Structure 1
Amino acid sequence: MQTDPDKTTPGGSSSSTMLGPESLRQELLCPICYDTLQDPVILECSHNTCRGCIDRLWGGQAACSCPLCRREHPDKRYTPNHLLGALIQAYLCRMERECQFCQQQEEKLVGETPAPVSQPMQRFVTVEDAAQQYKEKLKATTVLQEHHLQGLKVLQEQQEERVLEIKAQYLTLERNISSQFTEMHHWLQQKEQGMMKELKREEEKLLEEVECTQKSFKEEIKMTEENMSHLKDRLEEQDPAIFLTKITSFVEKFCVERTLPVTAPLKGLSLGQFMGPIQYAVWKEMKSIIQPVLCPVTLDPKTNHPNLILSENLTSVRMGEPAEFQNSPLRFNKSICVLGSKGFSTGTHYWEVKVKDKTSWDVGLAKESVNRQEIVKVKPKNGYWAIWLRKGQEIRALDSPSRILTLKTKPQKIGVYLDYEGGQVSFYNADDMSHLYTFKDNFTETLYPMLSPGVNKDGTNEESMKLFHLKL
């Protein structure tokens, strides 16, 4: 490399013993963004990078390493390099001053003929040095590409695992659907076969009665035909003496008026039993096989907020004037809600809540240990799994983050389904059983039904919320 004879060290020595400006500038470049280091930090392997660059590089990687030497840094540790930062600031200020000086000198020389110089001020690098510099850049780029490739492969593996999870979940749900319908099909087939057997027994009984009557009719017809034959033979006798022989006993025997036998009224098969509302009758009877059992949920008067009024049968709640209650850690003091009287720590359960004509409500479940003395955000991490209605039309699932539910119709009844072991809480429009939202979690303590009728500031939300069981 050709050196600049005009540049000397403070001690008067030639710059050949120190880093030249270009070499110094190269030392101050970030190996990630290839720009001057910003807020430099020093890694445990002694290499320097921009703080923002290394945070972005390591932020999306599981295995973190230096972009230059590839040494692994599993703890992602680095130290701010304040000395290098100060050096970079000084270097940049100096370069700025030199550029301003050059500009002033150039302005003075405008219009003048420049004097020939014997030695140009250009700086040169050897081909080998230039190649080495670009190789370093390409190596750093290769490291970044390798990290990017590793990240892509990790994401690809995650998607492949997701595909397997979806297929496994599909098989599980397919078996569940098949099992549910197989049970109903089996019950319906048994019911159908039972009705067909009952119909067959009634038919056989009626046919037996008819056959018995027909048999007696045949015997009566045969005897009547024989009598008619005797009468006809006697009437055809031409000899009066023979005709009158034993005529008295003959007349007594054959000239007696006969009446038709008495028969029971004609009966048919039972239309009322076999031609009535069969589907409705069977539908009502199906409640014996429906799972889960429709649970009789009632409200716990020891938990309701002082502004809530419960019905005498503890199945409905509405807003009212504040009442005096004995203070208790079981009672909600700041959150306007009430819990069910029975909790669930196992099994599957389903109940429904009437929310017709209301503009605000909350429906869901709360774990036993929720804080009932403070206002809390209703979300799973705080022990609540619920949905709510606000402003008369906005229904939101209170998940993390919460999600607005887009529905075709506004529900008048909300169905709540809990599968404790399965970690599932699902909500339905109980009018048509369309699915609204499902929470998935791991339950470790008793869960209680939770209701809130909402505030009634403008008088448009005075309707009660009512708990009831679906009666088939």
Structure 2
Amino acid sequence: MVTCKGSLDPPDQPLIPIEEAAASHRGMLKRHIGVLTNSLESDETVYKKQVANTCEVKRKMGKWREELDYECKELKFLLERERDEIDNDLLIEENDVEEKLIENGKQISYHMFRLNILLSKIEEKCLQTDEDLLTGIERIHNGYGNLETPAVFSCELPKEIFTLPPHYLGLHKMIRIFQVDLTLDPETAHLSLIISRDRKSVTYCTADGLPNPQALTSSPAVLSSEGFDAGRHFWQVEIRGTGDCFLGVCKESILRNTLRSPSPSNGCWQYQQKTNVLHIFCAGQHKIGVFLDYELGEVSFYNLKSRSFLDGFRDTFTEKLMPYFSIGLSSESLTIRVK
């Protein structure tokens, strides 16, 4: 009988037949084959997944590049339109200033003409004899005293007659993707508010009568009929008239008939827009965009005319939020329209 002893066996291990040793090692090798086969299969699965991920990354990047190209084209279109509008405003301003300068130049030129005539008369008068000098001297003095120098038109231009919008790309995407259609809920309206028949507009007016038990009576306010407990949403608000208005969101469970001012501490996140100040620049009309990102806990506000960021709030939202619209108590005539 042939025996052997493996180099991996302990020193005191007795010699065993070759057949038995071979069988033992063959079993170990088969177990290695099983482990390696499973490992290879696992690696092949991971490899295929990574190859698929590579393709998916390329697909997504291609899609994002297409979106970027689309957004850039949109941005270019918007900027070109903005440029045309600004160029038109500049032309109007230029023509207006030029017209006033020409008119003012004519007034100054005529004044210079009168000065030259009067100067010639005075010089001529000074050369006359005493008797001739005293004849008609009152007309000379009256002419000199009645000269009024025309006002000089100031052609100083505004330091910043226009500003290019810095948030076109992101804001345009918000409007295009997340725009929602809102209607106002008359059941939540304060007694001093008049809701339009299409439930899109609210106007402030003073009124007497029984209070609405559902109204937010701390201020003339109204809620939207639509609320949100997830996702991202964008809506537009048009403001006309003069006075203060408050825009934002509040919890569906906000206390009714309370004198407490709306604030984040009692579940109301809002932005105050003083339209009596903006009336000078916007002829009593202003547009505000409101963007809600429920999961991120963000509410942000945008000036839609200049496409610029106004203000924003961050918090943790745990219940349904309702778009909120309020008009200041001191406002005499103010209309809010939702889109």
Range class of TM-score, shorter chain: 0.3 to 0.5
- By percentage of residues, which structure has more helix? 2
- By percentage of residues, which structure has more strand? 2
Larger Rg: 1
Using the size of structure 1 for normalisation, the TM-score is: 0.34
Using the size of structure 2 for normalisation, the TM-score is: 0.46
